[in-house]
Amino acid sequence: MSLPLNESVVNIKPSGIRKFFDIVSEMKDAISLGVGEPDFDTPWHIRDEGIYSLERGKTFYTSNAGLKELRQEICNYQKRTQGINYDAMKEVLVTVGGSEAIDIGLRAMINPGDEVIIPQPAYVSYFPCAILAGAKPVIINLKAENQFRLTADELLNAVTDRTKVLILPFPNNPTGAIMERSDLEKIAQICIDKNICVMSDEIYSALTYKGEHVSIASIEGMKERTILINGFSKAYAMTGWRLGYACGPAEIIKQMTKIHQFAIMCAPTTSQYAAIEALKNGDNDVRLMRGAYNQRRRFLMNAFKEMNLECFEPYGAFYVFPCIKEFGMTSEEFATRFLEEEKVAAVPGSAFGDSGEGYLRISYAYSIENLKTAMERLSRFVNKLRSEKHNV
C-alpha cells in the first residue's frame, strides 16, 4: 500500500541539528553547549499566576486572537520599549510561540512563486516554512566581516521584482549579531523603495548587550509593512509555555488570525494568563537575566581570546559563533570530534545555512561553572588540533 504523502514535505530535509542530537543523546556524561533556550526557570511570580489561573478555573478557550488584556499588555510593551502604537483589537495576534507566527505569517502573505529573502546563518524554521507556504526562498549569505549584519548592498543584490518578504532575524540565532538603528535605516529605505514587507523576528529583543534593541517597525514608514514577531520564551525563560505573538498591519493580522483560528483555535489559556503577569511585572527579572548572560558572554569572549580563537563580538541573544576555519575541517567534523574527544556538544554552524560553515554555535544559557569546564576542554582540544596540524 502506498501511503499518501505530500511531496514538498517529503522533500524538506530534516534539521541538521537533529542528526547531531541523536549522537549526543547516546553519550551519558557529555556537557552540552547546544541548547537554544534559557537555563533559568520561569520567574516564580509568573508561574504562580499560571497556577492561580488554573485554580480559578480559567481552563477554557480564549478568543482566537488571544485574551484582550494580554493583547493590550503587548501593545503597552511595544509602546514603552519601541515607541510603536499598535491597536490591540486589530493589529495583534497571540500565537503558539514565535514559531507559529513565522509559519502563518508567511502563509498569509505568500502566493506561489513569490520570493522570500532569508539572510543566513539563521534559525532553522524560516526556510522550510517559506517552502511550505509555496514561496521561493532566496538566501543571503551574511559575512563575518560585517559582524553577520545584513547590509544594504547584500539586500539589493537579492531583490527581484518577485520579492515579497524579507525575513529579518535579529538579534540573531545562531550568530548573536544585532542590527543597530543606522543599519536598519538603510534596510528600511530599500524595503520602502522596492515595496517589500518585512517579517522581523525579534524573539531575542530583550537580550542585547550594546544599547537597547531597535525594531525596524519603529522606523518611519515601516510599521505599515512589518510583521513584528516576538514572544515570551527567551525574555522570560518561558519556552515550554509556548507563547508568542505577531503585531502588524490589520489586513495581514486578519488573515493570519483566520489560519490560526482554523488550525490552532487559540494559544494555551494558562500561558496567556502567565504572560500578562510577565509583561506587567517582569521587567526586573529580564534585567537580572540579561546581566547574567552578559557576564557569561564576556567570559566566553575572554576565553576565546586566551586560546587565540577567532570570534567577532556578538551583542545579542545568548550565542557566540567562533570561527574554526583554521583547523581545516567542516564544522560538522569539528563538532563531532569535539564531542567524541572532549565530550562537549556544540552545534555546527552549517546547521543554520551554508554561510554558517566554518563556525560553531556555542550557547551561553549555562552556568558559569559549566562554561568554565567547557572552555577548559575547548582550549585543550584546540591545542591538540593545532599540534596535530603542526606535526603533519
Residues contributing to the site for other proteins (CB under 8 A): 15, 17, 20-21, 24-25, 30, 32, 34-37, 39, 123-125, 173, 291, 294-296, 298-299, 302, 345, 347, 351, 368
Residue 122 or 276 having the CB closest to other proteins = 122
Those residues with Cβ within 8 angstroms of residue 337's Cβ, 6 or more apart along the chain or in another chain: 329, 381
Contacts of residue 68, defined as CB under 8 A and 6 or more positions apart, other chains included, come to: 88, 89
Residues 6+ apart with CB under 8 A from 307: 375, 378, 379, 382, 383
Q: For residue 28, give the amino acid letter.
A: K
Contacts of 151 (CB under 8 A, 6+ apart): 183, 186
Residue nearer to other proteins on the CB measure, 25 or 383: 25
Nearer to other proteins, 39 or 180 (CB): 39
Place of cell 524595503: 191
Indicate the residue among 101 and 276 with the shorter CB distance to other proteins. 101
Integer Cα distance of 23 and 131 in angstroms: 28
Q: Closer to other proteins at the Cβ: 252 or 335?
A: 335
Reading the block at residue 283, the C-alpha cell is: 521587567
Output the smallest distance, CB 224 to other proteins, in A: 31
- Shortest distance, CB of residue 238 to other proteins, whole angstroms? 13
Residue 230, beta-bridge partner list: 245
Contacts of 81 by beta carbon, 8 Å cutoff, 6+ apart? 205, 212, 213
Ordered alpha helix ranges (H), 264-330: 269-281, 283-306
Q: How far is the CB of 365 from other proteins (least distance, A)?
A: 8
Q: How far apart are the C-alpha atoms of 316 and 215, rounded to whole Å? A: 13
Q: How far is the CB of 267 from other proteins (least distance, A)?
A: 20
In SS3 terms, 18-32 reads as HHHHHHHHHCCCCEE
CB of 384 to other proteins, least distance (A): 23
Query: DSSP readout, 80-112?
Result: HHH-----TTTSEEEESHHHHHHHHHHHHH--T
Q: Cα separation of 52 and 65, whole Å?
A: 22
Please provide the DSSP assignment of 257-273 as one string: HHHHHHHTSS--HHHHH
Q: How far is the CB of 90 from other proteins (least distance, A)?
A: 32
Residue with cell string 569546564: 373
Q: Name residues whose C-beta falls within 8 Å of residue 146's C-beta, 6 or more positions apart in sequence.
A: none
Toward other proteins, which CB reaches closer, 372 or 384?
Answer: 372
CB of 347 to other proteins, least distance (A): 6
Q: How far is the CB of 94 from other proteins (least distance, A)?
A: 22
Q: How far is the CB of 104 from other proteins (least distance, A)?
A: 19
Nearer to other proteins, 21 or 48 (CB): 21
Complex with other proteins: residue 160 or 367, whichever CB lies closer: 367
In terms of Cβ atoms closer than 10 Å to its own Cβ (0-12, 13-18, 19+), residue 59 is exposed
Residue 24 or 382: which CB sits closer to other proteins?
24
C-alpha cell at 111: 502566493
Residue 23 or 259: the one with the smaller Cβ distance to other proteins is: 23
Query: Residue holding cell 558559569?
Result: 368
**Least distance CB 383 / other proteins (angstroms):** 20
